Structure 1
Amino acid sequence: MGSATTQALETTANALAGATGITVDVAGELFAVARLISDSVQLSGALADPSVPAEARAKVAADVFAQASEPTREVLRVAVSQRWSSASDLVDGIEELAVRAAAIGEPNADLSGELFAVTRVIADNPELELALGSRLGDSSAKAGLVERVLGGSTSQATELIVSSLVRQPRERRVRQLLSRAMSIVAAQRGAVVATVQTATPLSAEQHTRLTEALTRRYGSNVSLNVVVDPTVVGGLRVQVADDVIDGSISARLADLRQKLAG
């Protein structure tokens, strides 16, 4: 990610946070905008070309997306007025805004937990992952498949995020897309995502203690996703972004074997 894109993401996220009238419907419009820009080389080039004045890029976006709601048009105006490292980064940025808007639109829904649950369902069903990740599948059919699989078991925001992302994977794996979405949701809500692998389910008390300990360690609220994995043997393996805390017995045994072999 280039420095220009990093700055653009920060500016657009702040603009979204300060906007009014952000709903799940606005998130849906932003996802649709991202798809349309990605599908048109001419449009993406016009909106991301740094040699074109920001006012001109904003005018193009206003004309093309004139039927969108006022909150969507305003957020999009800010987005296309920024300098992005590439047209692809602009699409990614608008997609990120859509995920953030979904989190804002349903503030009481456990989006991180629901997205994680969907990720586990996909991981446990290779055929489903193949169908959703295939480059040959029809995008609308993939969205319909997501709706059938979820069957109303998640919030509207989660269903929108998942169905929208699988419609336009852009060479990305489905679980990679959902992992990114979880991180975006957590960031929007001022939290970090911790994935915990344990041999047995955590009790409510253990869940609370671990959450509090990680919150102190990272200085931020923590969204805890727990994976029960018998291969862990005992203890816990915790991953927060690239930081891994491995206190499992299996890890200690592996370390001991390596030392004995070396």
Structure 2
Amino acid sequence: MNGASREALATAREQLDALTDNTSVAPAKLADDLASVTALLNREGTLRRALSDPAKSGEAKAELLRRLLGGQLGADSVDLLAGLVRSRWSQPRDLVDAVEELADSADLIDAQRRGALDDVEDELFRFGRILSASSELRAALANQVADARAKTGLLHSLLGGRAHPVTERLVTRLVTAPRGRSLEGGIEYLSKLAAARRDRMVAEVTSATPLSDQQKRRLGASLARIYGRQVHLNLDVDPAVLGGVRVRIGDEVINGAIADRLDEAARRLAG
């Protein structure tokens, strides 16, 4: 997003956090409402354009939204959406993207309240690895002509009872309404969104052998010193990894004797 849309999204994120700081607000209900509005706006171009029209006043757009959706959504959802449409958006699709992000964030807030955010992050990562390893599963879930109910059933057979309900909801929405994203890209987006709930970075760590608890603590502490933020480790094992360990954070990849290199880098930065 650029310009006005970026500012509007930042404001919307703050409004979501302020709203869900109130423990009487149910984040899961909020997520369901926002997801249904995402689908509506994605489908109805005329409504999407009307609610993001810069020629209309913010109050006029908020009133239109309340008139159309006020009786179908919870009051908290309507208030949040009214704030969204009052803002200026560079293009109508940015509004839809923002509503979708808030829906996913609300589900992650639900997981956080339940003390399950770490589990959801790990499950999203593992599901991404399963997708990468199975071309048949990837093809079945990405099939654009397949029935959404069939995809939902397939996902439930894979995740139901094995993953946290928030993980299943997030993945199901991604698969049944990808909105032009690849499955791998969507999983990566959700993982980053989950990490952002704790203002953390995500490091994908691939080692030749499983890391011990002490090695994980040392690696996490070294990365935190370098980046100045808590770093969540997504762990994978691949005997073919050269140098014993490979760490990827965003576009940056570090190979080799990782703990020693990180400790040295941290000392240099501190100096």
* Same fold? TM cut 0.5: yes
Instruction: Give the equivalent residue in structure 2 for 1:59.
Output: 63
Contact in 1 for aligned 2:195/2:202 (Cα 8 Å): yes
Instruction: Give the equivalent residue in structure 2 for 1:257.
Output: none
1:133 equivalent to 2:142? Answer yes
Task: List aligned pairs for 1:148-163, cutoff 5 A.
Answer: 148-163=157-172
Number of matched pairs: 249
Give the Cα–Cα distance (whole angstroms) in 2 for the partners of residues 185 and 227 of structure 1.
19
Give the Cα–Cα distance (whole angstroms) in 2 for the partners of residues 245 and 3 of structure 1.
34
Give the Cα–Cα distance (whole angstroms) in 2 for the partners of residues 248 and 198 of structure 1.
11
Give the Cα–Cα distance (whole angstroms) in 1 for the partners of residues 26 and 12 of structure 2.
14
| Counterparts in 2 of 1:101 and 1:245: CA distance versus 1, 3 Å | same
When the two structures are superposed, what TM-score results if normalisation uses the length of structure 1? 0.89
Task: List aligned pairs for 1:27-106, cutoff 5 A.
Answer: 27-66=31-70, 67-106=72-111
Contact in 1 for aligned 2:209/2:244 (Cα 8 Å): no
Give the Cα–Cα distance (whole angstroms) in 1 for the partners of residues 236 and 17 of structure 2.
32
Instruction: Give the equivalent residue in structure 2 for 1:16.
Output: 16
Identity %: 38
Corresponding letter in the other structure for 1:61: L
| Counterparts in 2 of 1:53 and 1:141: CA distance versus 1, 3 Å | farther
Contact in 2 for aligned 1:144/1:163 (Cα 8 Å): no
Q: CA deviation at 1:246?
A: 2.7
1:238 equivalent to 2:242? Answer no
Give the Cα–Cα distance (whole angstroms) in 1 for the partners of residues 150 and 257 of structure 2.
42
Instruction: Give the equivalent residue in structure 1 for 2:265.
Output: none
Q: CA deviation at 1:248?
A: 6.8
The CA deviation string for residues 92-120 of structure 1, in whole angstroms up to 9 with x for no partner, is 11111111111111211122111111111
Query: Which runs of 5 or more residues in structure 1 are unaligned?
Result: 250-262
Q: CA deviation at 1:65?
A: 2.1
Query: Which runs of 5 or more residues in structure 2 are unaligned?
Result: 259-271
Q: CA deviation at 1:179?
A: 0.6
C-alpha RMSD over aligned residues: 1.7
When the two structures are superposed, what TM-score results if normalisation uses the length of structure 2? 0.86
Q: CA deviation at 1:245?
A: 2.1
1:5 equivalent to 2:5? Answer yes
Give the Cα–Cα distance (whole angstroms) in 2 for the partners of residues 75 and 191 of structure 1.
25
Contact in 2 for aligned 1:232/1:248 (Cα 8 Å): no
Corresponding letter in the other structure for 1:25: K
Q: CA deviation at 1:69?
A: 1.2
Instruction: Give the equivalent residue in structure 1 for 2:229.
Output: 220
| Counterparts in 2 of 1:63 and 1:141: CA distance versus 1, 3 Å | farther
| Counterparts in 2 of 1:196 and 1:8: CA distance versus 1, 3 Å | same
**SS in structure 2 at match of 1:52:** coil
Corresponding letter in the other structure for 2:225: R
TM superposition outliers: structure 1 runs of 4+ over 3 Å: none
Give the Cα–Cα distance (whole angstroms) in 1 for the partners of residues 29 and 110 of structure 2.
8
